[in-house]
Structure 1
Amino acid sequence: MGSPANDTDEPLTPAGRLFLQPEINQVIHCVMGLKNQIDIDAIKSGLCNSPILKHPRFTSLMVRDSRGFEHWRRTDIDIESHFVIIDDPVSSAASDESVINEYLAGLSIDPSSLSTDKPLWEIHLLMAQRRVDDGDDLPMMVSAIRSMSNGRTRTCWRNLWGFLLMLWFSFIYVLEFTLRSLWLRDRKTPITGGAGVELWPRKLATARFCLQDMKVVKAVLAHATINDILYGIISAGLSRYLDIREPNGLQDGLQITGLAMVNLREQKELQDLSHLMRGNSGARWGNKFGVLLLPVYYQRSNCTDPLEYVKRAKTVMDRKKQSFEALFSYKLGDLVMSYFGSKVASLLNYRTICNTSFTLSNVVGPKEEIMFYGNPVTFLRASSSSLPHALTMHMLSYAGRADMQILVAKDIIPDPEFLAKCFEDALLEMKAQAMAGM
């Protein structure tokens, strides 16, 4: 039974309601490495006095009214109920990183672990992940926040030619997106997921990139962005991986399609959090994002210039930025949610995911090293709970490096560590080619 709504309750956004559906229930997992031993009391004390506990999403319950509609309801915080302290080792894995990745992989197939009787966030402290024989091994903090990370997009209106290109690319990409939502799907490959795969056991590996290496590649391609470089790395790395998994079974040029989240908010809405929390900024809380289809074309890696992957990626991304694809996907989801309800909207999104092959996101983190209540932060990483995709990749940059968490259905992709190395090697080859051409 639902509870009556009151005057201070705020309805969930369409995206928020969508992510509560069982098929695509999403929890974001953030990992923070700390240089020194974890001081639990200092963290609790700091959180109690932090702006986080003034943020409505961190201080509200998710409740359903008598009609079944979800709302946010402000509540008091019991800080103790949001901490999970794990003193004993959670795995016998060889390294701390493997332990953390195994722990996150387990959380990824249990989105119900966040209880709705409190605001939807937790902090997990893995106290045993600091080996006495190695002072460089780091304790980890794992937090779970129900939200969504995303990127940005732009639309070109500069001149008539740009306007005509915008119309053409919008038509092409909107048509493809619509077909993907209905029946058009990728051909089966060694990384293909599908209906029910969100429930399969997971493995997690980390690919590490140096942002300076990405900038070297970016410098030799006019107007390229880090997103272009990442997209090229994914294209090259998947081709390399599939060369090994299916050396004779895939057709050259085969399309493998991914999904990427795109932030549709104006930057000014996000710049002053204090005004937003006081309610006088005019901005609305909640997710506002669209989806882009990202086609990757398999190429035999032994006969391709590594920079060609980035050039193709940049061409595709430039066209995507000139289209209304992301805005269309947002409006379509909003329309379906409003007129047909969350069940139908969830089915539409679920079909789109099942008809594609991977998820990709990239979030820009702090450029300088930061402190977490007096403890230096050594790295930041992000992942999410499972989707019907067998392959989900989330990259987060921090202080000159970028770590990409690679979450896989282990019965489909049993070797994510090798896949991570394929991505790392792809960037190094691109860097070497770029420096050779300077």
Structure 2
Amino acid sequence: MDSSQVPNSLRQIKTTTTKDDSSRFKEQDQLLSPMARLFHEPGSNVYIIAMMGCKTRINSDVVKQNLVHSLLRHPRFSSLQVVDEVSGSIKWVPTNVNIDNHVIVPKLDPNDIEFPDKFVDDYMSNLSKSHIENSKPLWDLHILDIKTADAQGTGFFRFHHSLGDGLSLMTLLLACTRQSSDPGALPTLPVSKETGYIKLTNWWSPLEVFWNSLVAVMMFVFTVLFLKDTETPLKGSVGVENRPRRFVRKNVSLADIKTVKNAMDVTLNDVVLGVTQAGLSRYLNRRYSEITNVNGGTHHSHSSSNGNNDDAIPKNIRLRATFFFNLRATTRIDTLVETMKTGRTSRWGNQIGYVLLPFTIGFKSNPLDYVKEAKAVIDRKKASLEPLYTYFVVYLVLKLFGIKTVGKLNHKVFFNTTLWFTNVPGPQEEVTFYGHDCAYLAPSCYGQPNALMIHIVSYMDKLTFVISADEETIPDPQRLSDDLEESLRLIKISALALESAKNK
């Protein structure tokens, strides 16, 4: 995307509200939060895009009628973001919404589409080249009436990140669904057994939290000032946030993840991070092997047990993920259903912090070592105040230096790392979206200053890796998704062997 395609900053917009609007929207002219404003800064103009496959054709008229009485009743989705001429601040201003401006249904002739799956993938990629005009609330839904390998119809929800964080928006979307087996029941989300972010288990714990937090703060400062990740085939170049993305999803069995979890006595997050670390290692190993062959170099390697050459990756690679944490105590679907009835936002918005999560990239003779190392790292992050620090530093820097400085600071941190990593829990049972049974849900992002984002979402008995990749940097994201799948297979085999040895 060239510079002419980069959207301008928000402009003053004239709006009108009716008496009914002002009474329904209790938070009229409320200022955007600092985190929401941050997503309008150059290099941080991020959109959340959620792909939804349905088992039946999507009736757009039914969807529109229901959205008017659900999503549009949420104040954020019926408000413009307007710049105040005097103060320069951005306010939420209620407006009358024409649903036809938000639900887009392209006219398609299936007979003219030779490869439907590629067409749908290309459509989603093309959406990442565009932005929503600020003359209307910053969301839309694109419905494709085309049959693919795993869906009869496909919808793309697109939200500007200033509307809310991923967990809030995912939960709001689920508030528009019901269980397929019981149309009157809301879907249920997995309940975490962890009751708090930091657990103090012994007298040493407070000192451990203090030390881990101090180290995290130092690494954060170093990253802002000079510390960059190694220039690998996964590291994006300057301007990556302005380039279109390619989105790939890979479904794996949630039972396989749980098999590893139980065999190693770790968490699901530990397993997912271990699989990601292994998959990135496999991918980089192949890319470096290809680079060596293209350059005519001699590469003496031997085949490892996982099918890779074990010495293609340079030593001591620094590769970190910006790993996002939800800072809410809880986000409930029924609360958002109530929000859409009353027009009150409650605790809505972007309430997220992040940690800088290092991955150890390289060959492991025992695939379980990827999970063990991931667990050790994430345990240190859990025993620290790093997510809270990164969240509140926005407010501190904002108070001292203004939103422009905050934007530059966050952009520097994100660009100096390699990828974004995040996950949200999906429903445990099949859901129906206004009468359309959902085959899959796959959220992701574009506009971030990284070449790669890996998002994890669960749905029924599946777990989906959703990859958002800059094709200029990562021309083969499908191969990366295959590497993640293969890594899980090898880790599961090792976990089963470990379990078998324990039972002998």
Fold conserved between structures, TM > 0.5: yes
Counterparts of 1:337 and 1:277, CA distance in 2: 31
Q: CA 1:221–1:314 in 2, change beyond 3 Å: closer, same or farther?
A: same
TM-score of the pair, normalised by structure 1: 0.91
**Unmatched 5+ residue regions in structure 1?**
none
1:90 deviation in Å?
10
The secondary structure found in structure 2 opposite 1:337 is helix
Q: Distance in 1 between matches of 2:464 and 2:113?
A: 20
Equivalence for 1:59 = 78
CA RMSD of aligned residues (A): 2.6
Equivalent residue in structure 1 for 2:234, among 191, 197, 203: 191
Alignment of 1:278-317 (within 5 A): 283-300=346-363, 303-317=364-378
CA distance in 2, matches of 1:402, 1:273: 24
Residue in 2 that maps onto 1:14 = 34
Residue in 1 aligned with 2:287? Answer: 245
Q: Does 1:26 align with 2:40?
A: no
2:479 partner SS? helix
Instruction: Report the Cα distance in structure 2 between the residues aligned to 1:282 and 1:8, rounded to whole angstroms.
Output: 11
Q: Deviations over 1:358-417 (max 9, x none)?
A: 111111011100011111111000111132211111122111112222121212211111
User: Cα gap change, 1:342/1:253 in structure 2, threshold over 3 Å: closer, same or farther?
Assistant: same
> Following superposition, which runs of at least 4 residues in structure 1 exceed 4 angstroms of deviation?
3-7, 89-95, 150-153, 268-271, 274-283
2:119 counterpart of 1:76: no
Pair 1:149 & 2:166 matched: yes
CA distance 1:169–1:91, change in 2 (3 Å): farther
SS at match of 2:105: strand
Paired with 1:155 and 1:418, the residues of 2 have a C-alpha distance of: 37
**TM-score (normalizing by structure 2):** 0.79
Task: Tell me what 1:259 maps to.
Answer: 322
Q: Report what 2:405 is aligned to.
A: 344
Match of 1:130 among 123, 127, 147: 147
* Alignment check: 8 A CA contact 1:180 1:352 kept: yes
Contact 1:105–1:203 (Cα < 8 Å) also in 2 = yes
| Distance in 2 between residues matched to 1:264 and 1:354, nearest whole Å | 23
In 1, the alpha carbon distance for the partners of 2:114 and 2:259 equals 34
Distance 2:124 2:111 in 1: 12
Percent sequence identity over aligned pairs: 33
Unpaired runs of 5+ residues, structure 2, are 1-10, 16-21, 169-191, 290-310, 500-504
Q: CA deviation at 1:91?
A: 12
Is 1:427–2:488 an aligned residue pair? yes
Contact 2:217/2:386, CA 8 A, preserved across alignment: yes
Residues 1:406 and 2:425 aligned together: no
Match of 1:117 in 2: 135
Paired residue total: 428
How far, CA to CA, are the matches of 1:312 and 1:104 in structure 2? 35
Q: Larger Rg: 1 or 2?
A: 2
For residues 330 and 93 of structure 1, do their structure 2 counterparts lie closer, same or farther at Cα, with a shift above 3 Å needed?
A: farther
Corresponding position: 1:359 with 2:415: no
Shift of 1:282: 9.9
Inter-CA distance 241–268: structure 2 relative to 1 (3 Å threshold): closer
User: Following the alignment from structure 2 to structure 1, what is the Cα–Cα distance between the partners of residues 109 and 205?
Assistant: 58
| CA distance 1:271–1:307, shift in 2 (3 Å) | farther
